[in-house]
Amino acid sequence: MLIVSLYGFPPEALPIIAAISTIIDPPATMLNVTADNACAVMTARLVEGKNWIKNKFA
């Protein structure tokens, strides 16, 4: 409700905003998880060297 009043939308816009946010949320979560994993891999490679995965499982 705060977003609706903050941007000056009428109260009738709340169900539409809720529906749009429900559609947008899963892809945004997927993108966030993918980026977190990519950053973790890049950090591991930077800290532990090029063969970091071989060193982990050797």
CB 13 within 8 A of CB 22: no
pLDDT, the chain, mean: 88
Distance CA 13, CA 1 (A): 10
CB 46 within 8 A of CB 54: no
Output the CA angle 43-30-39, nearest 5 degrees.
Answer: 5
Dihedral sign of CA atoms 35, 40, 43, 49 in order: negative
pTM above 0.75, yes or no: no
Q: What is the pLDDT of residues 17-41, one digit of tens each?
A: 899 999 999 999 999 999 999 999 9
So where are the chain's domains?
2-57
